[in-house]
A and B are shown apart, each in its own frame.
Chain A
């Protein structure tokens, strides 16, 4: 029954495609395969806190290792045909490894760790069904949030909490609609988040996006760890409930030189269910998750030099995440202020960055290895794009 529903949704996608198709697909298209990408490395140090352990850093993704550290080599092969194209986005190095942390599922299945699936960041093919409709299938980076995996597209080198604990990538089928010059929409059906190679739990996640005049409303809903099965699961087994995430991104030119980007997100996962004896029962409890708000200010001072600040408020509720200190109710919050400069020398961008994380509960440690509520750090990054 479940598979029949999935097939129905996919059939709906295809019927959309046929309805919007205006021309016959040409048999062949000639456009070159392009190669682009980036290379990044950085230096990171805490100010007034230990620098010995990889964990001595804010609990956010990337740019969190001590000393001189490697980012990644990002190699993107793409072909943009008039009617169809593909993207093969490969990552090598620590940042890439963190970006595809759900992989290598296939290698684990085959009993051979370190397989090539571990370097695939994105892998998808698309069909421009018409001028206004594009169908994409495969593994693509998330449509939620304001920051991305590639360091070339973010202003700050370190990342926010909202980015770090939202989805990175999805695998599935999506349909993008250009409704007008200022309006767009997207619907998708996908594996549970980060199950980027295949789906081992049998549930699917729905995604949607609506954009109007630079403001994007993004939604995600689905069960990320599957449903319990009375015939398979045993007494005490637990499964979390469905996850909902609603997210808004927007950008405004406040003046000729001052730009403000905004991101707000709300994530909630239901209390779930468990096997009680031979029956499956709902867990008695509240949903858990996180929410947050971030502003991204950017000022261009010259062609080569830009300054930017990110200020983020991030709140965990009901023990939704264990990445910052929480109180007895499972609640905790952190504010991070990140000041970055971008200095461009040709295709090289040098990013010095100062960051302050301040949490409601003890989340870090000082030089005496005593718990503390704040952490200051400095990063100097070199990002080359080609």
Chain B
């Protein structure tokens, strides 16, 4: 049996408004959205698992998933110089015909050259992102926009993949060669 995958995009999901920085009650950056869909619970669960998420909450009507992700931040000079790596947690909770994503725990891991001139993570160089973005620094102003774009890209990818549904096996039309042709 051959299965093919079809990506279904609902206009409301793809034309979502651009992300903005939002904060929870403790001042942590949180990107969160509840998304309604026509896709059923089992398919949503399967799709989230296919995206490499780890199950953290199990239930018949609600399941929770989590994944650590990261990307590099560069200082923009004549060429790109590694400044550090941003790690964050993506949590996805699934219910029947809806899901929500929560992106939080954004940590900046500063890079520095090691004694051989290669960039590597600085010892004790981990910092929460929130106070760094608050600094009146041109580089961090750039990073702020870069992070937002990366997050928009992450969310768009998540939204498109999470609603993918497998096509039913196509009905094969049989060709019969008759004598009375």
Contact = CB atoms under 8 A, between A and B. Distances in A.
B117 A302 contact: no
A218 to B, nearest CB: 10
A261 B79 contact: no
A214 B114 CA distance: 7
B115 A249 contact: yes
Contact of A146 (B78, B79, B116, B122): B116
A365 B10 CA distance: 73
A259 interface: yes
Contact of A298 (B75, B115, B117, B124): B117
A118 to B, nearest CB: 26
Q: For chain A, what secondary structure do more than half of its interface residues adopt (helix, strand, loop), or is it mixed?
A: loop
Given A178-B123, A181-B123, A181-B124, A300 B79 contact: yes
Given A178-B123, A181-B123, A181-B124, A302 B79 contact: yes
A146 to B, nearest CB: 6
B81 A300 contact: yes
A341 to B, nearest CB: 14
A19 to B, nearest CB: 21
Contacts of B116: 146-148, 153-154, 249, 251, 261
Interface string A149-167: 0000111000000000000
Interface in B24-83: 75, 77-81
Given A178-B123, A181-B123, A181-B124, A256 B117 contact: no
A15 B123 CA distance: 25
B79 A257 contact: yes
Interface in A249-277: 249, 251, 253, 256-257, 259, 261
A211 interface: yes
A147 B80 CA distance: 24
A8 to B, nearest CB: 31
Given A178-B123, A181-B124, A214-B113, A153 B80 contact: no
A147 to B, nearest CB: 8
A257 B115 contact: no
A300 B115 CA distance: 18
B138 interface: no
Contacts of B172: none
A259 B113 contact: yes
A216 interface: yes
B81 A153 contact: no
Most A CB contacts (10 A, CB to CB) among B79, B81, B117, B123 go to B117
B176 interface: no
Contacts of A154: 116
Nearest to A299: B79
A261 B117 CA distance: 7
B124 to A, nearest CB: 6
Contacts of A253: 113
A17 B124 CA distance: 21
A296 B79 contact: no
A216 B115 CA distance: 8
B108 to A, nearest CB: 15
Given A181-B123, A214-B113, A251-B113, A257 B78 contact: yes
Interface string A286-330: 000000000010101111000000000000000000000000000
Interface in A177-215: 178, 181, 211, 214
A296 B80 contact: no
Contacts of A178: 123
A155 B79 CA distance: 18
Interface in B103-121: 113, 115-118
B78 to A, nearest CB: 5
Contacts of A153: 116, 118
Interface string A328-358: 0000000000000000000000000000000
B78 A256 contact: yes
Contacts of B77: 256-257
A296 B78 contact: no
A145 to B, nearest CB: 9
B79 A301 contact: yes
Contact of B115 (A181, A211, A259): A211
A261 B79 CA distance: 19
A277 B80 CA distance: 69
B123 A303 contact: no
A211 B112 CA distance: 15
A259 B78 CA distance: 13
A178 B125 CA distance: 13
Give 6 closest A-B pairs by Cβ, nearest first: A256-B77, A300-B79, A261-B117, A251-B117, A257-B78, A216-B115
Interface of B: 75, 77-81, 113, 115-118, 122-124
11 contacts: A146-B116, A146-B117, A148-B116, A214-B113, A216-B115, A249-B116, A251-B115, A256-B78, A257-B78, A257-B79, A298-B117
